[in-house]
Amino acid sequence: MSLLIKLIKGKEEKEKEFNTPLSAKDTLRELGIKDKDIKKVVAVKVNGIPRDLSFQIEESSEIEPIYIDSEEGLEILRHSTAHVMAQAVKRLFPEAKVAIGPAIKDGFYYDFDYERPFREEDLPKIEEEMHKIIQEDYPFIRKEISREEAIRFFESKGEIYKVELLKEISDEKVSIYTQGEFTDLCRGPHIPSTGMIKAFALT
């Protein structure tokens, strides 16, 4: 098995042949990107498609790092921060039902269904729990499962909005992401781990 991987880094290009599949992170390292620079990479584009650093490259491809200070990198960071917020909310308010949580321009949000609206005094508690999750440095773990398996999983968790969403899509396979005890339906990609989040504020 022979894989030809081309690294695209701005105007710079570099090619190398590999005999076995490697993760995107290991591929960057093998192609000469130093560890101190890899720490600034949140994800990669493989043949133009954003992927996690843990993504296994199994065929000849073009790979391009996505840096944390780029527009795409910040969007991925915000999206991951939204997942951390949802995890914190579920820890503090276990009865809350999780809806959607995309990154938006200059921020992020999640919709929740709870017995009462969240109050101003709830925000510092949620932020504190988020800081704990960040310090715990959970990896974001992607898994592909069948749509039916995902429906059964979210039904068992009482996450009715995830079940509704899954019943509306036709894909036979879906991806879920887990950090610590929290799992959500998501296409990704995500940052490597929660510890990469440095600053945020809830408003």
Query: Where along the chain do the CATH 3.10.20.30 domains lie?
Result: 3-67
What is the pLDDT, as a whole number, of residue 134?
Answer: 98
Residue 119's pLDDT band (boundaries 50, 70, 90)?
very high
Q: What is the 3-state secondary structure (H, E, C) of the chain?
A: CCEEEEEEECCEEEEEEECCCEEHHHHHHHCCCCHHHHCCEEEEEECCEEECCCCEECCCEEEEEEECCCHHHHHHHHHHHHHHHHHHHHHHCCCCEECCCCEECCEECCCEECCCCCCCCHHHHHHHHHHHHHHHCCECEEEEEEHHHHHHHHHHCCCHHHHHHHHHCCCCEEEEEEECCEEEECCCCCCCEHHHCCCCCCC
Across residues 114-118, what is the average pLDDT? 93
Distance separating alpha carbons of residues 131 and 178, to the nearest angstrom = 17
For residue range 129-148, list pLDDT tens digits in order.
Answer: 999 999 999 999 999 999 99
What is the pLDDT, as a whole number, of residue 103?
Answer: 62
Residue pair 42/77 in contact (Cβ under 8 Å)? The answer is: yes
For residue range 92-110, list pLDDT tens digits in order.
Answer: 999 999 987 766 777 787 8
At a CB cut-off of 8 Å and minimum separation 6, what does 155 contact? Answer: 163
Mean pLDDT across the chain, nearest whole number? 94
Asked if the bond preceding 189 is cis, omega within 30° of 0, the reply is yes
What is the pLDDT, as a whole number, of residue 57?
Answer: 96
CATH superfamily to which 72-196 belongs: Threonyl-trna Synthetase; Chain A, domain 2 (3.30.980.10)
Across residues 80-102, what is the average pLDDT? 93
What is the pLDDT, as a whole number, of residue 102?
Answer: 67
What is the pLDDT, as a whole number, of residue 79?
Answer: 93
For residue range 42-75, list pLDDT tens digits in order.
Answer: 999 999 999 999 999 999 999 999 999 999 999 9
* Other C-beta atoms lying within 10 Å of the C-beta of residue 2: 8
For residue range 151-203, list pLDDT tens digits in order.
Answer: 999 999 999 999 999 999 999 999 999 999 999 999 999 999 999 999 888 87
Q: Among 48, 30, 46, 49, which Cα is nearest to 38's? A: 30
What is the pLDDT, as a whole number, of residue 88?
Answer: 98
Query: Where along the chain do the CATH 3.30.980.10 domains lie?
Result: 72-196
What is the pLDDT, as a whole number, of residue 109?
Answer: 79
Residue 2's pLDDT band (boundaries 50, 70, 90)?
confident
User: Which listed CATH number (3.90.1150.10, 3.30.70.20, 3.10.20.30, 3.30.560.10) goes with 3-67?
Assistant: 3.10.20.30
